[in-house]
Amino acid sequence: MPVAFAAQEHATIAQTSAHNALFVKVSEALGLEFVGNAAFDEFYEMQVQERHGTRRKKTAGQTLLKERLLREATVLDADILKVSSFVNHMVDVEMMEACGEELAERLEKQQPTKVLTVEATGLLPAMFVAKALSLPCVFARKQRQISISDSYQTSYKSTVASTPQDLYVSTEYLNPSDRVLIIDDFLAGGRTADALVRLCKMANANVVGGGFLIEKAADAGRAFLSGYQIPLESIALVEVKDGTIHVIEQDSREAPAQLQSEVAAVARNFDDSPPDDDDDGLVRLSV
């Protein structure tokens, strides 16, 4: 509820400065957080997101990753991001687990039965996603293993490798009944994720979604994978301008137009609603 000490059926919202001042004093005296206009906007948006099934409860991963990107990430040649101090060489385990839990929450509605990634850097976020969803995690190897007699094989050209790379997954670990999440550390050109999808198709497994720690906005990875028509989620959307890393807020890109217009309409209705004659400047909102 927007006001913690309101009645069960209605929340009373002060519209005059005198009542605002009173509410502030009461909230401070009782140790309660006073709710102002900005908080009401957030509250209504939260309710709309709840109805549309787009509300996210876990955001710690996004916060931690954004902080580390802005503080420690650097740009190498060809706009390649160096994140080796917290993602793919020395690992911030707390951040990685929080990101895995956040991706799991976003993608759990796809009802996956298995997580698939590629060795080695994709294995870290994939394991935490799998842990959060209580699913097995399979990783595609880059070399054929002597102990594996039969495997699915494909190749791809990575943006950070000079030669094509082979990928192998044992036929034991991908099955037609599987609903697979593709998880990796980066979404750039989309070639790695595409190769993983092709491995799943060889097994007649159903790919139901993809999740990534970092997505490069300027690259064509999302568009490249769009033909598969699977939901894609990334914790941080970044772009590089003049050698500087910027983290783009994703809410405006991801929120459906209908959701945005509904939030705006609710806010307008609240702002324009005249008070009841017997309420002395108070508007009652059903919650």
Domain ranges for the chain? 10-52+257-286, 60-254
What is the signed CA dihedral for 156, 159, 160, 161, rounded to 10 degrees?
40
- For the record, the structure tokens of 280 come out as 């002395």
Q: How many CB atoms lie within 10 A of CB 231?
A: 13
Per-residue pLDDT, 40: 54
What is the phi/psi pair of residue 251, to 5°? Answer: -60, -45
Distance CA 286, CA 43 (A): 13
- pTM score, whole prediction: 0.69
Distance CA 220, CA 216 (A): 8
Distance CA 73, CA 246 (A): 10
Per-residue pLDDT, 163: 85
Residues across the chain = 287
What topology is assigned to 60-254 in CATH?
Rossmann fold (3.40.50)
Q: What's the CA angle centered on 239, arms 236 and 241, to 5 degrees?
A: 150
pLDDT by 10s per residue, the chain, length 287:
444 544 444 444 445 556 666 666 676 677 665 455 555 555 555 555 555 655 556 689 999 999 999 999 999 987 789 999 999 999 999 999 999 999 999 999 999 999 999 998 899 999 999 999 999 999 999 988 877 779 999 999 877 777 889 999 999 999 999 999 999 999 999 999 999 999 999 999 999 999 999 999 999 899 999 999 999 999 999 999 888 999 998 754 544 444 444 544 544 454 444 444 443 333 333 33
Distance CA 124, CA 87 (A): 9
Per-residue pLDDT, 199: 97
Distance CA 122, CA 183 (A): 7
Q: Is 82 helix (H, G, I), strand (E, B) or coil?
A: strand
Per-residue pLDDT, 280: 38
Per-residue pLDDT, 143: 86
